[in-house]
Amino acid sequence: MPSFWIGLLLLTAFSFQIPIFPSSGARGFDSLVLPAITLAIPMTGVLTQVLRERFDEALGQPFITTVRTRGATEVRVRLVHALRHAVIPALTFSGAILGSLLVGTAVVETLFARPGLGRTLLTAVLGNDVPLVMGIATQIITPTFAKRIGVSGNGVVAAIAAGVLGIIVLLAIIPGFFTPIDPIAANTSAVLLAPSAEHWFGTDQLGRDVFARVVHGARSSILLGVGATLVALTGGVLIGVTAGLSRGWVDRILSRALDILFAFPDLLIAILLVAVLGPGLGTLVVAIGVGAIGGYARVLRSQVQVVRNAGYVESAIGLGHPTPLVVLKHVLPNSIGPLLVLATIGVGVAIISGAALSFVGLGAAPPTPEWGLMLAESRDYLSRAPWLGVWPGVFLALTVVSINVIGRYAQRRFLSGTASA
């Protein structure tokens, strides 16, 4: 789930409905509680997923069988032996996600109106202060880390996710079928109306129907996710194939370039490009896509290096087939499988990144019906109209979770098929 939506829900619950913690500012320890929880919850899910997978892997190791045969209780087997081996990758991964947390503070500091490096970065971007942007960026560069891991599931869960995603795609393709209401038409006589039979999701501060805006917002999010992934795939294929087929200095130069690209978290690259190109949906597609090129290129490079030494590739080269034909007919079809699976998950990552940038004012411009922008506009009305921040976040979470479930299921099927082959 996107961290900024979690923050909006926490603000609604614990600052406005039950006033326990302050909604903004940086005075005292209590002002840190909600921002810290907002950043921690998504990362907790990622670390839990990593720990669970490594824990299951450890339970299947021979030393666990040996411990059980010696009469150790199941509790001791799991807590003393399996957990000790499973926690090491999780601890390593927790250090690697520090860069993501630092970039995530840009969104959280804006949401909670806290002074900090992230908020200063956004102010510099909006003010076209490129030297300040570059200076801040150099302070938060960190080695890259693994992509977010989506929720895994079996075939039934994947089928449910496919059904949910299919409905959302239909919202994006034919929004007029689901609602005839103009999503940008204001109605001053229907401002901030609660959900009802006439307005299913209520109305916003300008009297616009929230359901219509959510439905039409699906198109922006889906196009952004697919477009950014296509940009990343195109760049990743070009660089990955070139590096994988090359030997010597060409491969070394491209590999070092990928290492440098990996030093920047994806969201930071997108912010830097938006600072140069200016905000807008088109810019977001390019910026988020460029930020993800490194991951796709590295995966494909590794696959191409394996395939290029296969017997059928060497036979094709020995028969005198042109190199472009060998690449298109033999190398690429047998290398691109893992990349396509990764791209499925990448669509969800791109949608969240785009919504986050729109949330802080670097994406879609009003009155565009876009989920991240709708969540940003709801911040000033959480106490009076909490539904404004609920429905865009629900649909954003459903879209991303569905994509991740399908992507993880496809990944497991691909890996199991590779192992059986």
* Tens-digit pLDDT profile for residues 88-132: 766 666 655 665 666 566 677 777 777 766 666 666 655 655 455
Q: How much is the mean pLDDT over the chain?
A: 79
The Cα–Cα gap between 252 and 74 comes to: 49
Beta bridge partners of 209: 203
User: What span, in angstroms and rounded, lies between the C-alpha atoms of 204 and 337?
Assistant: 44
Q: What Å distances lie between residue 309 and 297, 306, 322, 334, CA to CA?
A: 19, 6, 17, 12
Q: Which residue has the higher pLDDT, 204 or 93?
A: 204
Asked if pLDDT for residue 281 goes beyond 60, the answer is yes
Q: Other CB atoms closer than 10 Å to residue 289's CB: what's the count?
A: 27
d(CA 364, CA 352): 14
- At residue 77, the pLDDT reads 85
Residue 231's nearest CA partner among 162, 171, 157, 288 is 288
Q: What is the share, in percent, of the chain residues with pLDDT greater than 70?
A: 82
Closest CA to 351 of 390, 409, 414, 402: 402
DSSP string over 190-257: GTTPPS-SSSTT-B-TTS-BHHHHHHHHHHHHHHHHHHHHHHHHHHHHHHHHHHHH--THHHHHHHHH
Q: Which of 96, 62, 98 is nearest to 81 (CA)?
A: 62
Q: For 129-180, what is each residue's pLDDT tens digit?
A: 545 554 555 445 433 333 333 334 456 788 888 888 899 999 999 998 899 9
Q: Mean pLDDT lowest for which of 173-182, 188-197, 239-248?
A: 239-248
pTM of the model: 0.70
**pLDDT of 13 higher than 70:** yes
* Per-residue pLDDT tens digits for 178-187: 999 999 989 9
Q: Which domains does the chain have, with CATH numbers?
A: 1-142 (no CATH), 145-421 (1.10.3720.10)
CB 94, CB 45: distance < 8 Å: no
- Quick: pLDDT tens for 71-89: 888 888 888 888 887 777 6
Give pLDDT, residue 143: 36
